[in-house]
Amino acid sequence: MKRLYITEIGNSAENIAGRLELREMGKPVPRSDEVLIKVAYSCICGSDGHTVRGSLGDFSDRLRGMLPMTVGHEISGVIESVGENAKRMGFAPGNRVTGSPMQYCGSCVFCHTGKENFCQNKIPRMDGIAEYVCWHMSQVFKLPDDVDLRHGALTEPVSVAFGAAEMVNVRLGSRVAIFGGGGIGQLAAQVARLAGAALVAVIEPVADKRTLALRLGADFTIDPAAEDVKTRSDELTGSLGFDSVIEASGAAVAAAQALDILTPDGDVVYFSMYDPTFMLPLNLFWQQYWQQKHIHGMFNSNDIFPRVTSVLNRLELESLIQREYPLSDYEQAFSDQFTGKYAKVMLKCNDL
């Protein structure tokens, strides 16, 4: 079987590219609590691109000490074989599945208090760009029969959009702003609409992404390169600001603007991978005391996946898959990812 590895991490500040290598490996054998998945599709996440390019400051230096390292975590596929415990839990060969990249211990204080995303013993399984993966049964979720495997590979990014919308209390009648028209931003706009938002605005400098956002349910888009974001936001909200702001771009300037366009007592969430040295400007008197604005962070969690898989068929996912390549064309796929032009770039790992 073939699996993609990062063999060299670049340096984005000096425009030095990283390196990827598709290696031949032995097919893994599932342990009692594991399932072997024949991967159908694997999407490239923005975090994969940051890792390869070395755009995460000192964190990239830490990652260099882990080379060679596997990559990829947005997958769908079909179970080929199962361990004995996994079999008893209802998994079987032929099941169409997706998965979460994190395996949690289930025993630490965070797991016991419903905060498993902060598990003290979590094991990341970032090896999804491969022909096969062997994951713990707790990470694996069956797909509904009416969900295509192509769309099933988007479950993990949908779970991020789903979690972000819940974090900022998107509800019936909400005014929602989303910074970034990439995959997560486009999904967040759809999730906000599904949750009953009355106004959804996407803030994105790439024209094609703005067009896509409008087609997928956004009411308005704002070009931050040509328009004043605060002025346009005031026009759209009658100077009230947005109830919920989702910052999905990872841009430092957007992070500050997100607070500026937030209504008093509103909620904003930051979950993108910013430069680890970036510090958000914050006026505690005006923004926190006087306006009572709520700032949230967000990390991943498995508990959202069962709900996410149940609504996949209510989202327009096909339009987000703007580039698809066979696994052997991984270099072109990552090259497209680096341009920032496309919502999602997908690799087909097997014919299923």
Both tokens assigned to 213 = 């956002």
pLDDT for 302 equals 65
pLDDT for 190 equals 97
The model's pLDDT over 301-321, given as tens digits with 9 standing for 90+, comes to 667 899 999 999 999 999 999
CATH of range 158-297; options 3.40.50.10800, 3.40.50.720, 3.10.129.10, 3.40.190.80:
3.40.50.720
User: What is the domain partition of the chain in residue ranges?
Assistant: 2-154+317-348, 158-297
CA distance 185 to 191: 10
Residues of the chain with confidence (pLDDT) below 70: 301-302
Give the start-end residues of each E strand in the chain. 2-8, 19-24, 34-44, 69-70, 74-82, 96-99, 102-103, 123-124, 132-136, 140-142, 175-179, 199-203, 220-222, 242-247, 262-270, 294-297, 321-326, 344-348
The model's pLDDT over 22-49, given as tens digits with 9 standing for 90+, comes to 999 999 999 999 999 999 999 999 888 8
pTM of the model: 0.92
**Domain at 2-154+317-348, CATH class:** alpha beta
pLDDT for 53 equals 87
pLDDT for 54 equals 84
pLDDT for 311 equals 94
